[in-house]
Amino acid sequence: MKFEDIKTIGVVGAGTMGQGITQICAQAGYKTILFDINAQVLQSAEATTTKTLDKGIERGKLTEAEKQATLGNLTFTGDTLQLICDVIIEAVVERLEVKQSIFKELDSINGPETIFASNTSSIPITRIAAGIPHPERVVGMHFFNPAHIMKLVEVISGAATAPDIAETIKQLALKLDKVPVMAKDSPGFIVNRVARHYYVEGLKLLEEGVASIETIDKLMQASGFKMGPFELMDLIGVDTNYSVTTSMFEAFHYDPKFRPSRIQQQKVDAGHHGRKSGKGFYDYQ
């Protein structure tokens, strides 16, 4: 699949990341199909897309005509048979077996030229591609939240990824007005490997009673960070952040420096997932 041959993009998973990826693909002029098995989540993603586009108009970054063109490029569906696309991007939970299952199912209705891109933030692409027909077309395309604003995209090549496929995804990222960075296949890749300790150390300070959530966040903001670790985890999703930390902890053979926090696990168990649930480390209700 060459870059100029890409006409239709499928996105699997209508959560925060999936919705954002879908929106920017449609804005770039691609026919874009967003799939999710949960009808309510799918409806929420559709409403969020319209709301975000309206905000873009209010801020002068988008015209009404561009909004309508974007919406015209979008299809929201719970039917996997509609996912016959040139590029398919999965943006689901950070579980290897789930990602592999999705790609294996979609392989049965798509040709070998369809590119399978994973938005994983921590699972090695080589592991995702294992057992999937034509693993040379499996590649990492890791966006950052919020996807319609954040410019960086990590393009990750697994052991089997063909160089021309990685280059095609790089060109696609540029078309989406992103800044692609080519990364090696290692747990957490570049950004999450470096940034993981921003969250982990903040949580350790909280566990040890060194300072409060508010104090830690304010100190980091005073040091030049736009957000403290707890405010950032609430934005990303406490559950998503915890899942990535757990995945990296396992991938690095349980190295203590990646140990997930029991405080964060309690938040996840309680359903306090951050802004999207109305409560995380802070209360948004």
How does pLDDT run across 209-264, given as a tens digit for each residue? 999 999 999 999 999 999 999 999 999 899 989 999 998 999 899 999 999 999 99
18-64: per-residue pLDDT in tens? Answer: 999 999 999 999 999 999 999 999 999 999 999 999 999 999 999 99
192-276: which CATH architecture? Orthogonal Bundle (1.10)
Task: Supply the mean pLDDT for the chain.
Answer: 95
Question: Residue 203: which pLDDT band, with cuts at 50, 70 and 90?
Answer: very high
| Confidence at 90, pLDDT banded by 50, 70, 90 | very high
Task: Report yes or no: 216 and 233 within 8 Å, Cβ to Cβ.
Answer: no
- Note the pLDDT of residue 145: 87
Q: Which CATH architecture has domain 3-183?
A: 3-Layer(aba) Sandwich (3.40)
Q: What is the pLDDT of residue 89?
A: 98
Q: Which two tokens stand for residue 200?
A: 């982990």
Whole-angstrom distance, CA of residue 216 vs CA of residue 214: 6
Distance separating alpha carbons of residues 204 and 262, to the nearest angstrom: 10
Residues involved in catalysis: 121, 142, 154, 192
Contact 180, 151 (CB under 8 A): no
Domain ranges across the chain? 3-183, 192-276
What is the predicted pLDDT for the residue at 92?
Answer: 95
Q: DSSP character for 141? A: E
229: preceding bond cis by omega (within 30 degrees): no
Pairing of strands 138-142, 115-118: parallel
pLDDT for the residue numbered 274: 95
Among the listed residues 172, 29, 12, the one whose alpha carbon sits nearest the alpha carbon of residue 83:
12
Best CA proximity match to 272, nearest among 258, 283, 256: 283
| φ, ψ at 7 (rounded to 5°) | -125, -35
**Neighbour order of strands in the sheet with 179-183:** 74-77, 31-35, 8-12, 87-90, 115-118, 138-142, 152-157, 179-183
* DSSP code for 59: T
Q: What is the pLDDT of residue 285?
A: 87
Q: Quick one: pLDDT at residue 129?
A: 97
CA 60: distance to chain centroid?
A: 26
Q: CA–CA separation, 168 vs 51, rounded Å?
A: 31
